[in-house]
A and B are shown apart, each in its own frame.
Chain A
Amino acid sequence: MRFCASLFLWWLTLPVGAVIETYEFSRPELEVRYHQLVEELRCPKCQNQTIADSNAPISEDLRRRLYEELEAGRSDDEIVQGMVKRYGEFVRYNPSTEGATRWLWLAPWLFLGLGTLAMIGVTVRRNRSVETPRDYASDIAELLEETKE
């Protein structure tokens, strides 16, 4: 019990491990967008971390660039596209619904569809195979008749 409680407390402290440097934004909504975007961009060096999580120098640079571009009045889309131009689709943790990454979005639905079709197929076939039971008595009588001859 105590272990579980301490585990839970440790889990609570996880977000504190995030990055420390702060930027002064001219408008509060820029800061909101900044915090959204740092969670959406992936660190190219330390893969599987967002640039918000990572303390790698390259993430620091990306965060600074992000800050500058936000202050310069670019839209979220322009900024993300700019990063994709430099680092490829790889930098997006929220992949595009176009191009090759479209399949990441479509595949679950495709598989769901295929599974549903397979399930319907199996059920229909099973229902059909439950036919009227065979009349074994007459079969046996027939066999007996044959052996007698």
Chain B
Amino acid sequence: MRRLVLFIPVGIFLGLAVLLYRGLSLDPTELPSALIGRSVPEFRLRALGQDHYLTEQALSGRTSLLNVWGTWCPTCVAEHPYLMALAEQGVDIVGLNYKDTDAKALAWLERLGNPYREVISDPQGSFGLDLGVYGAPETYVIDARGIVRYRHVGEVNERTWAGELGAAYREALQ
């Protein structure tokens, strides 16, 4: 019994070592979205380059991806061809043009193609703020009831689509 007490420091050390080792492989920039499982925040913003307004209604009725992008964002250029491919496969994508100007955004869609069913224009970033966006690109999976199911920070590509993001989308489809 006395002897066992001597092993307590070793036990504490091992516990700490495991905890800290795990900490090494965690990415502190990957924040969980506070919105998961809740409905999309209300908004009323103009559709990019058009006169009508869009509201949270535009994001319900069918499972869709909400892709946050801007022409100022290099990773958005990188993921654009993959979004085009997804749209071609029949994935419903709504764009959120975040802190950008309409002229630049329209020119970009003209040049690279438009994978979006609708593009919400959010030059002030107010809807982005309510969503908890802190950079672009970000992609949200939103189910037919307008509930946020998943948030992906960073590029959408084959690898991420084969991973959790795609899995969340397919699950939301059902």
Contacts and interface: CB of A to CB of B under 8 A. Distances in A.
Interface of A: 44-45, 47, 57-58, 61-62, 65, 84-88, 90
Contact of A87 (B28, B29, B31): B31
B99 interface: yes
Interface centre among B29, B34, B125 (most CB of A within 10 A): B34
Interface string B85-127: 0000000000000010000000000000000000000001110
A87 B129 CA distance: 9
Given A44-B134, A58-B135, A65 B33 contact: no
A86 B99 contact: no
A62 B129 CA distance: 8
B34 A86 contact: yes
Given A86-B131, A86-B132, A88-B132, A44 B34 contact: no
Given A57-B99, A61-B129, A45 B34 contact: no
Main secondary structure of the interface of A (DSSP, over half): helix
Contacts of A65: 126, 129
B38 to A, nearest CB: 8
A51 to B, nearest CB: 11
Given A58-B125, A61-B125, A84-B34, 7 more contacts: A47-B28, A58-B134, A61-B128, A86-B131, A86-B132, A88-B31, A90-B31
Interface residues of B, number: 19
A57 B124 CA distance: 10
Interface of B: 28-29, 31-35, 99, 124-126, 128-135
Nearest to B33: A88
A57 B70 CA distance: 13
Nearest to A86: B132
7 contacts: A57-B99, A61-B124, A86-B131, A87-B134, A88-B31, A88-B32, A88-B34
